[in-house]
Amino acid sequence: MRARLNLDPSQVRRARDLAARAGQPIVEIARTHTTVSVERAVLRLAGLRGADANGMPWVNHVVDAVRAAVGLEHGVALPAWHALVTQGHESLAALAAAAAHGTVAFRLPVGEDAAAARSAASAALVGGIARIDANRVRRDRLIAETADPPTPWIYLIVATGDIYEDIPQAQAAAREGADVIAVIRSTGQSLLDYVPEGATREGFAGTYATQENFALMRAALDKTSRELGRYVRLTNYASGLCMPEIAALAGLERLDMMLNDCMYGIIFRDINPRRTFIDQRFSRQVHARAGIIINTGEDNYLTTADAIDAAHTVVVSQLLNEYFGKEAGLTDGQLGLGHAFEINPAVPDSFLYELAHAQLVRELFPDAPLKYMPPTKHMTGNVFAGYLLDAFFNLCGVMTDQSILLIGMMTEGIHTPFLSDRDLALENVRYVRDAAGRLGESFVPAPGGFIERRAGQVLEESLALLRRICDDGLLNAIADGTFGITRRPADGGRGLDGVIMRADDYFNPASDILERRERAGSADPASRPASPVGADR
């Protein structure tokens, strides 16, 4: 990647230093607290799945029963495995069924009983994380057996609500050129404090994220990958009140990407900030282990705030996402930082602004698989103008070496796109990529010209905002409406009642394993990204 903007390296280093300073207090909160979803994720990684006759997952029953009996300050593992070892239950599922009926006496073990429970829990989690490790190896093998498509990867959404309708649509999209299939979630799932069970057929503007749905789509895309001779990636959403659990399920079923942003759920779903940041750290540790690329959600800020005035908030959020991601063990090749083509097309020089912003992000994060989002805010229903605007987005993406292009739909904002709309969108991006894919080689902004000056201005504004956040605190900045102009106080929002301060002897066998991998760093082969996106640039 050629540097084209003459950025001041000292400013770039300063920006990262400030992002780390702003993020450190948040990491400390995550290290000293747990949540009900983190504890449920531990049980899922140990192999507990299924639900009662009303659809409430067994993991919820166990965590709720343990919390009612002894609290969660010490974690769910010790009381759960103590009961499993000492009370004659055949399996975690049998324990969960008994807990749902109120017939388990959960206690916090001590001494030899605690040691036995620790040993049993740790063994169960070793097995679950071994499955994630095996999936990572399997992904690498399938990529080697087929082929890794060159960047930019073409990212397309399916969203019928019915997993059995999503599958043929996803396979058809892959045959027409899509490299990444995103199964968008049912409306409102992020606000559910449980993960639905089984294959689902009645989602609302999307399909429920469940373990069975993950497995069905993964198997279908593996079949299509072999048919096409190129690996087709699968993504879903690790966000909302069940973020850690969905991350665990993604690792267990070999998804390749997950939407996982540090502030999206806070700002756009009114989920408590503390709950979100605690859940986020655990989920990203799982993603790091699984070789999953995260996609962050900075593009959403520009749907509520002005894309020129708020450009620096996108950069600041990206720097924070990078810091939080790397602290949790993610590599550069797993940081699919987001941004968007959302400047009002009526603004003079709007395309030059878009080029400046996109090139700035590319140079700030040269090794990240950047995810570039198409225009939505200023799509008016004029499908001809929309199709042209999407072409300009595709052109900006290839000129500035973006890694993942979510293709735009000319019917954006009118209806859920038809298959024909998706086919035209794929035709648009194929044409631009084939006709102008090498244009970036010759794209050199004039020294001191508009694009270079604009990029420098956004970087300076980012530094000023980071300094303010360091002084005031990130939680206060979120409460003040700094990102996406929406105010979210630290003690408000959904899910705060699910946050628990850890006791000194808190035990989480999953975190123990994941933290050891994090500390091992780059010397550990499994800490490398599954497929270095930058290799094709």
CB-based contacts of 458, cutoff 8 Å, min separation 6: 311, 312, 315, 356, 357, 360
Catalytic option among 299, 390, 401, 421: 299
Q: Tell me, yes or no, if 264 is annotated catalytic.
A: yes
Classified as helix, coil or strand, 23 is helix
Long-range contacts (CB closer than 8 Å, 24 or more residues apart) made by 200-206: 200/161, 200/162, 200/163, 201/161, 201/162, 201/163, 201/164, 202/161, 202/162, 203/159, 203/160, 203/161, 203/162, 204/161, 205/159, 205/161, 205/416, 206/159, 206/161
Q: What is the C-alpha separation between 224 and 457, in angstroms, rounded?
A: 46
Q: Tell me, yes or no, if 497 is annotated catalytic.
A: no
CB-based contacts of 425, cutoff 8 Å, min separation 6: 156, 390, 407, 408, 409, 410, 417
Q: What is the C-alpha separation between 152 and 123, in angstroms, rounded?
A: 41
Determine what percent of the chain falls in helix, strand and coil, rounding each to the nearest 5. 55, 10, 35
Catalytic option among 194, 208, 231, 264: 264
Catalytic option among 371, 387, 390, 401: 371
Q: Tell me, yes or no, if 299 is annotated catalytic.
A: yes
Q: What is the C-alpha separation between 67 and 87, in angstroms, rounded?
A: 18
* 458-to-12, 56, 302, 351, 519 alpha-carbon distances in Å: 12, 47, 15, 16, 34
Q: Pairing between strand 404-406 and 371-373?
A: parallel
* 428-to-328, 340, 423 alpha-carbon distances in Å: 38, 18, 9
Catalytic positions? 264, 299, 371
